[in-house]
Amino acid sequence: MNKAFYISKYGGPEVMEWGEFPPAPLGPKDVRIQIHAASVNPLDWRIRSGALKVILPYTFPLILGNDCSGVVSEVGREVTRFKVGDAVYSRVQDDRIGTFAQEIVTAEAAVAHKPTNLTHAEAASLPMVLLTAHQVLTEAAPLRAGQSVLIHGGAGAVGSMAIQVARHLGLRVATTVSGKDTDFVKGLGAETVVDYRTQKFEDVVRGMDAVLDGIGMENLLRSFQTVNPGATVVSISDGPDVQTAKSRGLSPLLWPVFMALSAKPNAAARKAQAHYRYWFMHTDGGRLESLTPLLENGTLRPHLDRIFPFEQTAQALAYAESGKAKGKVVIQMRDE
């Protein structure tokens, strides 16, 4: 049996349950991973709360968790890239989440070989934030070396990785943090640091070619005051747009809902002569594999805030949701 943390209804931390599930069936292009560690992402508590049920219509019971690192224990008959015993990490598929468990089955295409220099806890912290950062800076708002980006929440999980990816791409980086985290984000490569507790970032930052916002709608709207004409402001939090609905194959009957949700940022974009994108990262094991060398040579580094034992998964989720973490919160299922 597969021990796991799951929900039977949407709600707060109190809806988390622990139980056992039969092993998931293995398809011909699937791998079964014995999970050593999983990380917590904002996506996890947004799914738990029901905030994303229009975009991600799950059924119950639902095992939570999107990131993991572990060891392959079984492969489908058509799998070619992995064998039993391989150490791997993955941001699993949207429709097959469930890494807050002892094992998971996911598609070979969602998996990459674990960086050899990282522990499972470190590797588990990376897939979602690394893919999000790289996709935003190369797809949602494709930028050239020498251009500039404002990354909100630079000390957070996505922000700290996005700063590193931006610097690797040759971008000039501005970021917002609490003052106590100034040295931390400068060490990652941020050039301009705004203490959001004492300064309004729109009074300090100007001429940006892109913005990455994961804070929320009010912050997102203010961000349009910082950009050049033609810039792209990307949200990974509020304001899903019609393009998101279309890309996820949602019914046209729902499109007016997404038009309403993105109305304010779209209006702000028109006023600023800029572009607005809502970005929902997509699983991409091949891209993760291609970025692994940057982790192995130290160009990109994971930053862990705290590691919780498996039995404290609910507490790990609540701690990450509190906003106190600097870097990633990780859940350890097995010893390294």
What does pTM read for this prediction? Answer: 0.95
* Residue 319, number of CB atoms within 10 A of its CB: 18
> 117 pLDDT exceeds 90?
yes
> 34 pLDDT exceeds 90?
yes
Within the chain, where are the H helices?
42-49, 120-124, 127-135, 157-168, 182-188, 201-204, 217-223, 242-247, 255-261, 263-272, 285-296, 313-321
Burial classification of residue 182, based on how many CB atoms lie within 10 Å of its CB (0-12 exposed, 13-18 middle, 19 or more buried): middle
Shared domain for 269 and 242, answered yes or no, is: yes
The pLDDT assigned to 292 comes to 96
The pLDDT assigned to 2 comes to 97
Residue 294 lies in a domain: no
- In whole angstroms, what is the distance from residue 139 CA to residue 14 CA? 37
Question: Among 103-117, 130-144, 312-326, which is the least confidently predicted range?
Answer: 312-326
pLDDT tens profile 239-268: 999 999 999 999 999 999 999 999 999 999
Is residue 275 within 8 A of residue 265, CB to CB? The reply is: no
Shared domain for 110 and 64, answered yes or no, is: yes
Q: Could you give the 3-state DSSP secondary structure of residue 286? A: helix
Q: What is the CATH number of the domain that holds 100?
A: 3.90.180.10
In the chain, the amino acid numbered 266 is: N
pLDDT tens profile 163-175: 999 999 999 999 9
Place of tokens 């996505």: 158
Residue 198 lies in a domain: yes
Is residue 198 within 8 A of residue 176, CB to CB? The reply is: no
> 307 pLDDT exceeds 90?
yes
> 195 pLDDT exceeds 90?
yes
- In whole angstroms, what is the distance from residue 227 CA to residue 230 CA? 8
- In the chain, the number of structural domains is 2
Q: Which two tokens stand for residue 30?
A: 């699937």
pLDDT tens profile 45-96: 999 999 999 899 999 999 999 999 999 999 999 999 999 999 999 999 999 9
The pLDDT assigned to 204 comes to 96
Residue 143 lies in a domain: yes
The pLDDT assigned to 199 comes to 96
Shared domain for 133 and 195, answered yes or no, is: yes
Instruction: Please name which of 202, 219, 153, 158 lies closest in space to residue 181, comparing C-alpha atoms.
Output: 153
Shared domain for 111 and 181, answered yes or no, is: no
* Residue 29, number of CB atoms within 10 A of its CB: 14
Shared domain for 166 and 254, answered yes or no, is: yes
Residue 335 pLDDT grade (very low, low, confident, very high; cuts 50, 70, 90): confident
- Distant-in-sequence, close-in-space partners of 132: CB < 8 Å, separation ≥ 6: 158, 161, 162, 236, 279, 281
Instruction: Please name which of 329, 298, 296, 309 lies closest in space to residue 115, comparing C-alpha atoms.
Output: 296
Residue that finishes a domain, picked among 278, 293, 319? 278
The pLDDT assigned to 317 comes to 94
Residue that finishes a domain, picked among 278, 295, 324? 278
- In whole angstroms, what is the distance from residue 282 CA to residue 152 CA? 21
Shared domain for 6 and 104, answered yes or no, is: yes
Shared domain for 135 and 67, answered yes or no, is: no
- In whole angstroms, what is the distance from residue 37 CA to residue 139 CA? 29
Pairing of strands 227-235, 30-40: unpaired
Residue 289 lies in a domain: no
Residue 259 lies in a domain: yes
Domain hosting 147: range is: 128-278
Residue 290 lies in a domain: no
Within 144-251, where are the H helices?
157-168, 182-188, 201-204, 217-223, 242-247
Instruction: Kindly report whether the peptide bond that precedes residue 240 is cis, defined as omega within 30 degrees of 0.
Output: no
Shared domain for 137 and 274, answered yes or no, is: yes
Residue 204 lies in a domain: yes
> 336 pLDDT exceeds 80?
no
Instruction: Please name which of 78, 89, 96 lies closest in space to residue 30, comparing C-alpha atoms.
Output: 78
The pLDDT assigned to 326 comes to 81
Q: For residues 323-329, give the mean pLDDT.
A: 85
Q: Which two tokens stand for residue 49?
A: 């709360």
Residue 105 pLDDT grade (very low, low, confident, very high; cuts 50, 70, 90): very high
Calculate the average pLDDT of the chain: 96
- In whole angstroms, what is the distance from residue 96 CA to residue 301 CA? 27
Is residue 116 within 8 A of residue 81, CB to CB? The reply is: no
Shared domain for 119 and 133, answered yes or no, is: no
Q: For residues 278-285, give the mean pLDDT.
A: 95
The pLDDT assigned to 327 comes to 84
Shared domain for 95 and 141, answered yes or no, is: no
The pLDDT assigned to 85 comes to 98
Q: What is the CATH number of the domain that holds 265?
A: 3.40.50.720
In the chain, the amino acid numbered 84 is: V
Residue 292 lies in a domain: no
208 — phi, psi (to 5°)? -80, 145
Shared domain for 87 and 204, answered yes or no, is: no
pLDDT tens profile 196-232: 999 999 999 999 999 999 999 999 999 999 999 999 9
The pLDDT assigned to 297 comes to 97
Question: Among 270-274, 302-306, 326-330, which is the least confidently predicted range?
Answer: 326-330
- In whole angstroms, what is the distance from residue 63 CA to residue 66 CA? 10
User: Which residues make beta-bridge pairs with 177?
Assistant: 195
Shared domain for 132 and 272, answered yes or no, is: yes
